[in-house]
Amino acid sequence: MDFDLTADQLAFQQAARAFSDKAFAPHAAAWDEGKVFPRDVIKAAGDMGFCGLYCPESLGGMGLSRLDSAVILEQLAMGCTSTTAFISIHNMASWMIAEYGSDATREAFCPDLVSGAQLASYCLTEAGAGSDAGSLRTQAKRDGDYYVVNGAKMFISGAGATDVLVVMVRTADSGARGISTLVIPSDLPGISFGKNLEKMGWHSQPTKEISFEQVRVPVANRLGKEGDGFKIAMKGLDGGRINIATCSIGTAQAAINRTQTYMLERQQFGAPLASFQALQFKLADMVTELVAARQLVRLAAFKVDKGDPQASVYSAMAKRFATDVGFDVCNQALQIHGGYGYMQEYPLERYLRDTRVHQILEGTNEIMRLIVSRHLLTQADVETIQ
C-alpha cells in the first residue's frame, strides 16, 4: 500500500497548480464580485486538458483515472473554488456522454466538450425533486424518431452559458425505472432560461432554472437504453461527489496556507499569533482533519477507478466527510483572521461562502449518511467497509 503520488501525478499536480496560480487566483475575487463567468479562462483550462480529465483519449480527453483527476482538481480549487466546481460538473456531464452515448453521439459532442470549446450542464434537480431525484417530472414523450420534452430543471450550474445539457427526463411512470437521459443542445427551440439566481457563493458561474416547452430531441441523443437514466445519473454522481469533495479540500488547503502565513506575521500582545498555544492547537486540528479527508477522497476515487461494488458508498462517505471538514477548516481559518477574515479584502469569507454549498449539492450530506447507513444495515458482513 503506497500513499505517495506517482511521478505522473506529481507532474499533473505541478501543472495544475501553476495554471491555477496564474489563471485563477489573481482573478477569483473580481469574478466573485462581478458575477463573471470566465469562459475564456475555462477554455484555456480545456487547452490544458482539464475539461476532459477522464474522457477517453480516443475522443480527445486525457483518459485519466478519478484519482489523477482529484489531484488536478484540488490544485485548481486552490485558485478559484467556484470556477473549479463548474469545471468538475462539466467533466461529469462530458464523461456521461462519452461513457453511455452512441458512437455518433460521442463524435458529435465530445471533441468540443473535452477541449472546452463547448461547455455542458448536468440537469437532474427540479423544484419539487431535489434529494428525491426519482420523483422528477420533466416528461419526454416519444414521437417517431424524436422525444418531445416538457418540464423544468432548477438550480442548474452554468445554465444559459453552456452549450450542451445532459438532462434526466421521465419516459415512463415507474419511478426511478422510468427515467432516461438525453443530450440536448441548449439552443433548441422551446428551451428558455430563468434569471440568474442570487446565491451565497459560487458567483463565478451562473445558476438558473431551465424550462422545456415542446422541445424536440432526436431519440439518437439518448444515453443508454430507455429507463437507464437514473442509473446513469447515479454513476455520474459517484465521480461528481468525489470532485466536489476535492474542491472542498483544495479550498481548505488554500485557507490553511493563508492562515499559516497570517499567524507568523500578525502580532498581538507583543508576539506573533503563532506563539499562542490555543491557535497552534487549532491549526494542528485543521491540518489533521484535512489530511484525513484528503485520504478518504483518494480512497473513494481508487474504489471508483477499480469498479469496486461499494464505490458508491465510499463516494458518499468521502463527500460527506470532506465537505464538512472543508467548510469547518475555512470557518476556523476565518476565525483566526479575526475581523480581517470577515472582510472581502481577504479571501477567507469567499472560501466560506463557496464551500458551504458543497454540503448540499451532488446529494445533501444527509442523503450521503442515508446511503452509507442503508448499505451497512442491509449487509450481512459490515466488515466489508474497511
Rounded Cα gap, residues 226 and 219, in angstroms: 10
**Catalytic entry in 289, 349, 362, 366:** 362
Q: What is the residue whose three cell numbers read 442548474?
A: 156
Q: Does residue 112 contact residue 46 with C-beta atoms inside 8 Å?
A: no
**Per-residue CA distances from 253 to 119, 140, 249 (Å):** 28, 44, 6
**Torsions phi, psi of 184, nearest 5?**
-125, 120
Helix, strand, or coil (residue 308): coil
The rounded Cα 352 to chain-centroid distance in angstroms is: 16
Angle at 316 between CA 314 and CA 318, to 5 degrees: 70
Determine whether 41 is exposed, middle or buried from the number of CB atoms within 10 Å of its CB (0-12, 13-18, 19+). Answer: buried
Dihedral (C-alpha) 208, 210, 211, 217: value to the nearest 10 degrees?
170
Alpha helices in the chain (DSSP H): 7-19, 28-34, 39-47, 66-77, 81-100, 103-115, 229-265, 277-306, 311-337, 339-342, 348-356, 365-377
Mention every residue, 6+ apart, whose C-beta is less than 8 A from residue 140: 147, 148, 149, 169, 170, 171, 180, 182, 217
99 is catalytic: no
- Here the cell at position 359 is 454540503
Active site residues: 362
